[in-house]
Amino acid sequence: FHGLEKIKTIGDSYMLVGGLPTPRADHAEVVAQMALDMREVLANGMTVLDEPIRVRIGLHTGAVVAGVIGTKKFIYDLWGDTVNTASRMEAMGFANSIQVTSATYDRVRHLYEFEERGLMQVKGKGEMPIYLLVGKK
């Protein structure tokens, strides 16, 4: 999907990464576009048991630790502060929102429209400026 790497699905959580395993300079842009595309597809009438599907998406840009775990069944996974911060963005979001940190905002603000949510208290991080990805410019 958009040349991104799916890492795992746990319950209703879907984690993917851009720029791994092969580095790419436009990783933040591609992830942002995927988030917009995913939101659009899900917002266009998709339902489960006649209830509309709502999605919260959290994006953060930064370094991760990546590796393969397992002895019989191998799984590629990611760890680190970047993963935790992206997870916090998703958890703090609201239905059909794409919430991003300033690290992601700074990399793609010339390509996309954003709304400022302002400084927000983020668990384990303190106050952080938060933005909502609205659409492409």
pLDDT tens digits for range 16-60: 899 998 899 999 999 999 999 989 988 777 777 887 777 899 999
Looking at per-residue pLDDT, the higher value among 44 and 124 belongs to: 124
Average of per-residue pLDDT across 76-90: 94
- The answer to whether residues 92 and 99 touch, using CB atoms and an 8 Å cutoff, is yes
Verify whether residue 6 is a known catalytic residue. Answer: no
Predicted structure pTM score:
0.89
Output the domain CATH number for residue 40. Answer: 3.30.70.1230
The pair of structure tokens assigned to 78 is 């990611």
For a pLDDT cut of 70, what percent of the chain falls above it? Answer: 99
How far is the CA of 60 from the CAs of 32, 53, 69, 90, 136, in angstroms?
Answer: 10, 23, 24, 10, 18
Q: What stretch of H or E contains 107?
A: helix 102-108
Q: What is the mean pLDDT of the chain?
A: 92
Residues spanned by the domain of 120: 5-136
Q: What token pair was written down for 28?
A: 């933040």
Q: What is the pLDDT of residue 43?
A: 77
Q: Give CA separation, 56 vs 18, 42, 43, 128, 133, in Å.
A: 18, 11, 12, 18, 12
Q: Which one of 6, 24, 54, 123 is the catalytic residue?
A: 123
> pLDDT > 90: what percent of the chain?
69
Other Cβ atoms less than 10 A from the Cβ of 132: the count is 16
Q: State the pLDDT at residue 10.
A: 82
Q: Catalytic pick from 39, 56, 88, 107?
A: 88
- In the prediction, which pLDDT does 14 show? 85
**130 falls in which pLDDT band (50, 70, 90)?**
very high
Give how many domains the chain has, as a whole number. Answer: 1
Q: Where are the beta strands (DSSP E) in the chain?
A: 5-10, 13-17, 47-48, 51-52, 56-59, 65-69, 75-79, 97-101, 112-122, 126-136
Residue 137: active-site member: no
